[in-house]
Amino acid sequence: MDDDRNVAETVRRMMVAEGWVVDVTYDGVSGLEKARNNHFDVIILDIMMPGLNGYEVVRELRRGGVWTPVLMLTAKDGEYDQADAFDFGADDYLTKPFSFVVLIARLRALARRGAPERPPVLTAGSLSLDPAAHVAKRGDTVLELTPREFGMLEFLMRHKGEVVTKAEILDSVWDINYRGDENVVEVYASYLRRRIDAPFGCKAIETVRGVGYRLAADGGG
């Protein structure tokens, strides 16, 4: 789905030449309807479209239980634009101008992954996090988190019960161009503990010395 007909047609022709069967729409409303009513291996989605924007389209697909892999192909290259796309349910993100070789490689990877169902709300004991609505709660209490704190908590909840390293957290939560001290993760782990644990008498985030962090599968009590 792309409202730029020249870009859409160029991508369509190149994909057809690579053996793909391609269907194109130029606005969010018709694109959403087509994605709901047909089976696709993968969806390429622009953000800026008339009717419904790309964020709204992928959010509605996920709310409706459509788990087709979605690649955002857009001129918007800010880190928060990318974070929003992933929060709403996109699987990959590629900015314009782009390499067609890279586009095809990513589409093939997404198609191989298929469309496994993913829970719209992540839970760990009394902790819950809704990526699309951008809301995190401890029980019935809404947690006031900064975007970076929210991103780190989401990553930990997606890997609850597992030990994750500082490097893995940086790669997933910080900008890929971040070159600062990885101890910033320690700082944000401390921030999160003050937000999600201390006020509730819980201990969800465990430091695994010399390795990284683990979020308790039961949310820490």
**Is 58 in contact with 70 (CB distance < 8 Å)?**
yes
Note whether 211 and 179 are same-domain residues.
yes
Note whether 39 and 75 are same-domain residues.
yes
pLDDT at 193 over 70: yes
pLDDT band, very low/low/confident/very high, at 190 (cuts 50, 70, 90)? very high
pTM score above 0.85: no
Cα(81)–Cα(65) distance, integer angstroms: 23
Note whether 101 and 131 are same-domain residues.
no
pLDDT band, very low/low/confident/very high, at 204 (cuts 50, 70, 90)? very high
Q: What is the CATH number of the domain that holds 146?
A: 1.10.10.10
Note whether 136 and 206 are same-domain residues.
yes
Q: What CA–CA distances, in Å, run from 40 to 74, 111, 115, 189, 193?
A: 20, 9, 10, 40, 42
Domain final position from 113, 134, 149: 113
| Residue entry with tokens 């391609």 | 22
pLDDT the model gives residue 97: 81
Residue among 15, 94, 100, 9 at smallest CA distance from 47:
94
Q: Is residue 221 part of a domain?
A: no
Work out the number of other CB atoms within 10 angstroms of the CB of residue 132: 17
| Token pair for 143 | 């947690």
Q: Is residue 156 part of a domain?
A: yes
Task: Give the pLDDT confidence of 119-151 residue by residue, as tens digits.
Answer: 678 899 999 998 877 889 999 999 999 888 988
Look at the chain and report how many structural domains it folds into.
2
Q: Is residue 132 part of a domain?
A: yes
pLDDT the model gives residue 215: 95
Note whether 127 and 87 are same-domain residues.
no
Q: Is residue 93 part of a domain?
A: yes
Domain final position from 113, 130, 152: 113
Note whether 140 and 159 are same-domain residues.
yes
What residues make up the domain containing 9?
5-113
In a 10 Å sphere around its CB, with 0-12 CB exposed, 13-18 middle and 19+ buried, how is residue 144 labelled? exposed
How many alpha carbons lie under 13 Å from residue 133 in its C-beta half-sphere? 12
Residue among 50, 96, 49, 46 at smallest CA distance from 71:
46
Note whether 141 and 188 are same-domain residues.
yes
Note whether 17 and 56 are same-domain residues.
yes
Note whether 127 and 90 are same-domain residues.
no
| Token pair for 198 | 């201390």
pLDDT the model gives residue 220: 84
Note whether 203 and 175 are same-domain residues.
yes
Q: Is residue 10 part of a domain?
A: yes
